Amino acid sequence: MIVCHLVRTHCRDSTPRRLASDVRFIQVNHLHPDSGDRPSSILRFDMGQLALPNLDDGLRRRLVARFGGEVESWLDELPAVLATLADRWQVELGSLIPLGHMSVIGWCRTADGSPAVLKACPDRERLANEAAALRRWSTPHVPAVFAADVSVGALLLEAIVPGTMFLESATFPVPDVAQLLTSLHTTGIPDPSYPPLERHVAYLFDSWARHRKQQPELIEVVSPDLFERGRRLAFGLTAQTSPTVLLHGDLTAVNVLYGGDQRGLVAIDPAPCLGDPAFDAIDLVLGPGQSANLWHADDVDAITARAVALAPAIGVDATRILDWCIAFAGMQASELASEPNNSDVRIRTLLSLAHAIA
């Protein structure tokens, strides 16, 4: 069940760009059948706020950790860029979505009143690839692109409603996940301009290596030997013969949203590349690390069972999905160990899987 709450406040129509209305906030909730009708807040933004979103210290820390200190100047210039884009695309800016590690994302409203998302990223090549891929996927399982300016690294996207993160799902619905993966892999155009999976894998392991240098205590979680064995297995898998499809490339439980009963699951924030369709199943089969999650797998048998159930539904071999999971299990264990309130059981499960490397 979807419930939309209009929260009314007194506000004066002080500028031509503000729609004449006393509706200031919209909040969209999705009521899960098994939740006792307790709403999970999904979408909330200030419909009358004309001030630019505040780029808080937490956002700056996350982007500096990802891109280095040179991103500071990009962040300093961003408010003016957002103001220009809001005027050009005729959108009203709302509050930021406090989740991004790669980009700055905020709610907004288009001229016709539709909820939308404005995304800006300092990695302009990545954002250009994202925009191109989203436009080439002919499926309702990705958001529509309303506008793009790759010269400044900005996208205006459809907001997914209700937008519940798959992270919050009480179960792992194999048919729904299979439908999402199959749709992405069969409707995307594998244009050779996208990077090959091998390059994407190299990027991920290089990023992990930098993270280990920044936090040397993580080397105690995943030894240099285990790190290297995982890297070799991953590169070995990219060299093996497999179908070549347009991959999402970053299909985590946070990047999959619920789009309603008719639409199903929707994939956002792709890092598109070309390669083995089994790769996109890694994070969903391993499961997220957050302790509040209800469908994470706390033992290797559960991860194996999930791979075995999903593989035939997406037309790949279960051992291939598991090999990819084994190659990246150490990376996921390391990421989880770096987070506060992490799960020791979950980390041990991932490390047990990682040690299965021959």
Same domain, 207 and 268: yes
Instruction: Dump pLDDT digits (tens) for 28-71.
Output: 333 333 333 333 333 334 444 445 667 888 889 889 888 888 99
Same domain, 56 and 118: yes
Is residue 204 over pLDDT 80? yes
Instruction: Dump pLDDT digits (tens) for 73-107.
Output: 999 999 999 999 999 999 999 988 877 788 999 99
Measured distance CA(194)–CA(122) in Å, rounded: 19
Which residues make Cβ contacts (< 8 Å) with residue 348, sequence separation at least 6?
Answer: none
Of 85, 115, 95, 117, the residue nearest 49 (C-alpha): 95
Same domain, 136 and 220: no
Same domain, 184 and 283: yes
Average pLDDT, stretch 299-308? 92
Which residue has tokens 């509040």?
A: 292
Of 268, 274, 280, the residue nearest 131 (C-alpha): 268
Same domain, 145 and 194: no
Same domain, 97 and 24: yes
Measured distance CA(102)–CA(67) in Å, rounded: 8
Q: Which of 46-55, 203-212, 310-319 has the lowest mean pLDDT?
A: 46-55
Measured distance CA(153)–CA(128) in Å, rounded: 7
Contact in structure between 79 and 55 (CB atoms under 8 Å): yes
Token pair of 228 as six digits: 């290297």
Same domain, 176 and 324: yes
User: Of 117, 137, 158, which residue sits at a domain end?
Assistant: 158
Is residue 15 over pLDDT 60? no
Task: Give me the domain span that covers residue 43.
Answer: 2-158
Which residues make Cβ contacts (< 8 Å) with residue 109, sequence separation at least 6?
Answer: 45, 47, 91, 92, 94, 115, 116
Same domain, 133 and 177: no
Same domain, 140 and 176: no
Same domain, 337 and 194: yes
Name which residue leads in pLDDT, 142 or 8.
142
